[in-house]
Protein backbone atom coordinates (compact mmCIF):
# COMPACT_ATOMS: atom_id res chain seq x y z
CA UNK A 1 0.00 0.00 0.00
CA UNK A 2 1.18 3.49 -0.79
CA UNK A 3 0.10 6.68 0.95
CA UNK A 4 0.58 10.08 -0.76
CA UNK A 5 -1.04 12.33 1.79
CA UNK A 6 -1.99 12.22 5.41
CA UNK A 7 -5.47 11.18 4.31
CA UNK A 8 -6.60 9.27 1.24
CA UNK A 9 -10.31 9.09 0.50
CA UNK A 10 -10.81 5.57 -0.79
CA UNK A 11 -13.90 4.57 -2.74
CA UNK A 12 -15.72 1.31 -2.17
CA UNK A 13 -17.61 -0.42 -4.95
CA UNK A 14 -21.02 -1.97 -4.33
CA UNK A 15 -19.22 -5.32 -4.14
CA UNK A 16 -17.34 -4.09 -1.07
CA UNK A 17 -13.99 -3.98 -2.86
CA UNK A 18 -11.85 -0.86 -2.51
CA UNK A 19 -11.19 0.82 -5.87
CA UNK A 20 -7.55 0.50 -6.96
CA UNK A 21 -6.29 3.77 -8.42
CA UNK A 22 -5.16 3.52 -12.05
CA UNK A 23 -2.11 5.27 -13.48
CA UNK A 24 0.06 5.20 -16.59
CA UNK A 25 3.87 5.35 -16.69
CA UNK A 26 5.09 8.77 -17.82
CA UNK A 27 8.35 7.84 -19.52
CA UNK A 28 10.92 5.17 -20.20
CA UNK A 29 10.39 1.67 -21.53
CA UNK A 30 7.08 1.42 -19.64
CA UNK A 31 5.71 4.71 -21.04
CA UNK A 32 1.95 4.55 -21.46
CA UNK A 33 1.63 1.18 -19.70
CA UNK A 34 -1.13 1.16 -17.10
CA UNK A 35 -0.68 0.05 -13.54
CA UNK A 36 -2.92 -0.04 -10.49
CA UNK A 37 -2.18 0.88 -6.92
CA UNK A 38 -4.08 -0.16 -3.84
CA UNK A 39 -4.73 2.79 -1.55
CA UNK A 40 -5.33 2.49 2.14
CA UNK A 41 -7.59 5.37 3.02
CA UNK A 42 -8.35 6.53 6.50
CA UNK A 43 -11.73 7.53 5.07
CA UNK A 44 -13.62 5.07 2.87
CA UNK A 45 -16.83 6.10 1.13
CA UNK A 46 -19.24 4.43 -1.27
CA UNK A 47 -20.70 7.63 -2.70
CA UNK A 48 -19.04 9.90 -5.27
CA UNK A 49 -20.61 13.05 -3.84
CA UNK A 50 -19.22 12.23 -0.37
CA UNK A 51 -15.72 11.67 -1.76
CA UNK A 52 -15.97 14.93 -3.71
CA UNK A 53 -17.18 16.88 -0.67
CA UNK A 54 -14.49 15.42 1.59
CA UNK A 55 -11.79 16.42 -0.91
CA UNK A 56 -13.27 19.93 -1.22
CA UNK A 57 -13.25 20.19 2.59
CA UNK A 58 -9.52 19.41 2.57
CA UNK A 59 -9.78 15.99 4.18
CA UNK A 60 -7.50 14.35 1.62
CA UNK A 61 -6.91 13.07 -1.91
CA UNK A 62 -9.53 11.19 -3.85
CA UNK A 63 -9.70 9.62 -7.29
CA UNK A 64 -12.77 10.51 -9.38
CA UNK A 65 -13.81 10.64 -13.00
CA UNK A 66 -13.10 14.08 -14.41
CA UNK A 67 -16.79 14.58 -15.23
CA UNK A 68 -17.63 14.14 -11.54
CA UNK A 69 -15.11 16.75 -10.41
CA UNK A 70 -15.12 19.16 -13.39
CA UNK A 71 -17.36 21.82 -11.79
CA UNK A 72 -15.26 21.87 -8.60
CA UNK A 73 -12.02 22.05 -10.61
CA UNK A 74 -13.38 24.89 -12.75
CA UNK A 75 -14.53 26.72 -9.59
CA UNK A 76 -11.07 26.36 -8.05
CA UNK A 77 -12.21 24.34 -5.02
CA UNK A 78 -10.28 21.27 -6.27
CA UNK A 79 -7.19 20.73 -8.34
CA UNK A 80 -5.88 17.68 -10.13
CA UNK A 81 -2.53 16.82 -8.55
CA UNK A 82 -1.76 13.57 -10.37
CA UNK A 83 -2.78 14.65 -13.88
CA UNK A 84 0.51 13.68 -15.59
CA UNK A 85 0.12 10.13 -14.28
CA UNK A 86 -3.49 9.58 -15.32
CA UNK A 87 -4.19 7.12 -18.13
CA UNK A 88 -6.21 8.39 -21.08
CA UNK A 89 -9.97 8.01 -20.82
CA UNK A 90 -11.51 6.93 -24.11
CA UNK A 91 -15.04 6.94 -22.79
CA UNK A 92 -17.45 4.39 -21.45
CA UNK A 93 -18.04 0.95 -22.89
CA UNK A 94 -21.43 -0.64 -22.58
CA UNK A 95 -21.90 -4.34 -23.21
CA UNK A 96 -25.32 -5.86 -23.58
CA UNK A 97 -26.58 -9.13 -25.08
CA UNK A 98 -28.03 -8.05 -28.41
CA UNK A 99 -28.95 -5.11 -30.62
CA UNK A 100 -32.26 -6.80 -31.30
CA UNK A 101 -35.14 -6.65 -28.85
CA UNK A 102 -33.41 -4.25 -26.49
CA UNK A 103 -35.66 -3.56 -23.48
CA UNK A 104 -37.03 0.02 -23.55
CA UNK A 105 -35.28 1.06 -20.30
CA UNK A 106 -31.93 -0.14 -21.62
CA UNK A 107 -32.55 1.67 -24.94
CA UNK A 108 -33.19 4.95 -23.05
CA UNK A 109 -30.01 4.45 -21.03
CA UNK A 110 -27.93 3.70 -24.16
CA UNK A 111 -29.28 6.82 -25.89
CA UNK A 112 -28.57 8.90 -22.77
CA UNK A 113 -24.96 7.71 -22.53
CA UNK A 114 -24.37 8.37 -26.24
CA UNK A 115 -25.80 11.90 -25.97
CA UNK A 116 -23.82 12.59 -22.79
CA UNK A 117 -20.63 11.45 -24.55
CA UNK A 118 -21.28 13.81 -27.46
CA UNK A 119 -21.82 16.73 -25.06
CA UNK A 120 -18.62 15.90 -23.16
CA UNK A 121 -16.62 15.71 -26.39
CA UNK A 122 -18.02 19.06 -27.52
CA UNK A 123 -17.20 20.64 -24.14
CA UNK A 124 -13.61 19.34 -24.29
CA UNK A 125 -13.29 20.67 -27.83
CA UNK A 126 -14.42 24.12 -26.67
CA UNK A 127 -12.00 23.92 -23.74
CA UNK A 128 -9.12 23.00 -26.06
CA UNK A 129 -9.95 25.94 -28.31
CA UNK A 130 -9.94 28.33 -25.33
CA UNK A 131 -6.56 27.08 -24.15
CA UNK A 132 -4.78 27.65 -27.43
CA UNK A 133 -2.44 30.66 -27.27
CA UNK A 134 -3.37 33.64 -29.39
CA UNK A 135 -1.11 34.32 -32.33
CA UNK A 136 0.18 37.79 -33.08
- Rounded CA-CA distance 2/113 in Å is 34
- For the chain, the domains span 1-88, 90-136
Q: What is the pLDDT of residue 123?
A: 66
Instruction: Give the pLDDT of residue 99.
Output: 74
pLDDT digits (tens, 9 = 90+) for 98-107: 777 888 999 8
Mean pLDDT, the chain, whole residue set: 79
Reply yes or no on whether the pLDDT at 132 is more than 50.
no
How does DSSP classify residue 114?
Answer: H
Q: How far apart are CA 10 and CA 21, in angstroms?
A: 9
In CATH terms, the fold of domain 1-88 is D-Maltodextrin-Binding Protein; domain 2 (3.40.190)
DSSP class of residue 11 equals: E
Amino acid sequence: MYQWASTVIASMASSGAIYRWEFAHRSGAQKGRWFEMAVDGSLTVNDISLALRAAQDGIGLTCLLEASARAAIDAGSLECVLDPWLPPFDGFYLYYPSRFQVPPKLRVFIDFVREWGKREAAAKSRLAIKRQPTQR
